[in-house]
Amino acid sequence: MKEITRRLYTKPVMLGMALLVGVALVIGLFVTTKSTAAANGFPVMAGNDEFETAADGQTFHDFEGKPIPAGFFGSGSLAYGELVPLEGVPLAPGSEVDTIIQRHQTVFGAGGSTPLTMTGLSLIASSPLTIQFNNGQQTWSEQWNMAVGLSAYKASTGSMTINASTFDSSLKVWPKFTFTRVGGGVPPLVLDTGAPDGPGLTASDTATIDSLEFAPRPTATVAPAPCATIETFEPVSKVGADTAFVDATATSTCPPITLSAINQPWSNCPGFCIPVPITEEERWARHRPGPKGFKAQQKAGGVAE
């Protein structure tokens, strides 16, 4: 009797366990399939990725590596080698987007690649640079705003490899720096690292760029800074569709800033979407913007770590 009872109870228990295992297998298969489908949003169509850069200290250029040389800001100015935090300024009214990267080709499967071009960049120093002067008889300081955008001469290009759920990218950025003295009184200084035969920008060149203006400004003055002693990062200008870059054979004495992003996540929103802030950096510069809508999420306190 005891043996019969044991068998009667044991059989339902074994059947129950088998049912649970079967359910677990079905759930596991569903989750795996769903996860693969979510990440596998191929083909990834060519298009623009738009970003917003917060004033959180995560984006910066460090001039310690290659200081701005003495005399750059005028007679008696000392070399400048400080870290400068950067933040975004919208490229267009009604938007917070300050960085645009164009993917030129459709990627049909994991491991495929596409050329990139940075077509919009608009960042400024979060606070003015304090420049020290010494003419041998007296010392003083001046405050200068700094804005950096895309070169009017050379395109900032690179490539991106899109994997099943991550991507790797590399961009060679040719920045244009504009320094404007607080209070005015002198023309702004402009250094375009993509200019042929060294830095330089003429008044006629500025007409092809929608530049961030701190105030109405006089004609830009070519900054007397050799690129061999200054190597810097990004912000302030939007390259318009009618902007013409110098012929590809033109050379520059200034090295580009190579920004690399490795193993960054993406998702299908649908389409290619970068759901978390992207980090692109080299030793002396870092650009850490978030996706479009990032600043609104920040204000609402909903930004994911």
pLDDT at position 198: 54
User: Tokens in use for 199?
Assistant: 């830095």
Mean pLDDT computed over 133-155: 95
- How many other C-beta atoms can be found within 10 angstroms of the C-beta atom of residue 294? 22
pLDDT at position 2: 47
DSSP state of 23: H
Give the range among 1-15, 38-52, 288-302 with minimum mean pLDDT: 1-15
Mean pLDDT score across all residues of the chain: 74
Mean pLDDT computed over 78-100: 95
Give the range among 83-92, 193-202, 235-244 with minimum mean pLDDT: 235-244
Give the range among 75-84, 89-98, 124-133, 268-277 with minimum mean pLDDT: 268-277
pLDDT at position 271: 87
Nearest to 105 by CA among 57, 40, 45: 45
User: How far is CA 166 from each of CA 117, 124, 160, 205, 245, rounded to the nearest angstrom?
Assistant: 19, 30, 11, 39, 32
- Strand blocks (E) in 151-234: 156-162, 166-173, 175-181, 189-192, 209-211, 221-222
Q: What is the share, in percent, of the chain residues with pLDDT greater than 70?
A: 67
User: How far is CA 280 from each of CA 58, 123, 256, 267, rounded to the nearest angstrom?
Assistant: 11, 15, 14, 18
DSSP state of 2: H
How much is the pTM? Answer: 0.71
Q: How confident is the model at residue 196 (pLDDT cuts 50, 70, 90)?
A: confident
Per DSSP, helices labelled H in the chain are: 2-39, 294-300
